[in-house]
Amino acid sequence: MKKIAVCYKWVLSDADIRVNEKTRELDMEKCKPQVNDYDRNGLECGVQIKKATGRELVGITCGASVAASAKDALSRGLDAVYYVEDPALAETDKVGSAKVLAAAVKAIDGVDVVICSEGSSDDYAQQTGPRLAALLDMPSVSYVVKVGAGGDAFTLERKLEEGSEVVEVNAPVVITVSPEVGDAPIPGVKDIIGAKKKPANALTLAGIGISPDAVKPRATRVSVLAPATSRRKQVLNPEGVSLDQAAAALVKQLSADGIL
C-alpha cells in the first residue's frame, strides 16, 4: 500500500520557558516535551490526504529522546509511527536531521508522499523539507496552504509574498505546509486510548545506514540568551505642563536617545 509520511519534531514547550534575569539564560527545567505546534498542522494535512487517497498514514521523527512522542503523534490520526532515537542526535543540525529522516523514509516501503511543516517552534530554520526532498530526489513544493488530492495527483496552493500560486504535481512529492493548511484538532479520549493499540516502530541509525559521524553538527551552539531589555519610566509633565510642552519634551528626549 502507498503511504504518506509526516515528519514531526518532539520539542520542549515554549510556554514554560523562564529567563534568568541576571544571566539572561533560558531556563527549560519546567518545559514539557510536545509535538511541535507547526507539525500538528502537518499531521492534520496528512489525515485529510489519507481520507482523499486511501493511503496509509505514518509519522517519522528522530532525536536523542523521542520514543515518548509516539503516543501523542498516534492520537492525531496516524496509523503507525517510526522513530530513530540515539544520543548522537542530541546536538545534530538540520543537515543531520534531514539525512536521518530521508534514510527512514527509504526504509519504509511504499512512501510516495512526505509532509513537513514549514519550521519548528524551537529553531524555525525552514530547512528540513527542502533538504529532505533533495536527498530523496523528489519534487518539492513549499509554503502550501491548501491541498487537493485525488489518486496520485495533487493540486497545491502556495502562499507567496505578493499573492498565491496553484501548482499541480504527481506523487512522489515532498510537501512543506504552512499552518494555514488546516487547524489541528485536539485529540479526544477515544483517540488517546486508541493510540495505545497502534504500532510505534523503533529504528536505529545503524539499521537505516547512518553513522554517528554523519549527524555531527557543522556548527556548535555556544549559548542562547534572551534579548536585553530595559524600561525607563519618565514623566513628561511632572508639573502639569501643557500638551505642547510635553510633546516637545518627548521629541527632545527621543532625539537625545538616538531614536529620532
pTM beyond 0.85: the answer is: no
Lowest mean pLDDT among 46-60, 121-135, 175-189, 200-214: 121-135
Residue 193: burial class (beta carbons within 10 Å; 0-12, 13-18, 19+): exposed
Helix, strand, coil shares of the chain as percentages rounded to 5? 30, 30, 40
Per-domain boundaries in the chain: 3-215, 230-260
How does pLDDT run across 156-166, given as a tens digit for each residue?
Answer: 999 988 888 99
How does pLDDT run across 62-82, given as a tens digit for each residue?
Answer: 999 999 999 999 999 999 999
Categorize the per-residue pLDDT at 254 as very low, low, confident or very high, splitting at 50, 70 and 90: confident
**What is the CATH number assigned to the segment(s) 3-215?**
3.40.50.620
Mean pLDDT of 229-238: 69
Query: Which H/E stretch holds residue 164?
Result: strand 163-170
Query: Which H/E stretch holds residue 188?
Result: none
Q: Which residue has the higher pLDDT, 69 or 249?
A: 69
Task: State the pLDDT at residue 33.
Answer: 86
Task: State the pLDDT at residue 221.
Answer: 77
Task: State the pLDDT at residue 232.
Answer: 66
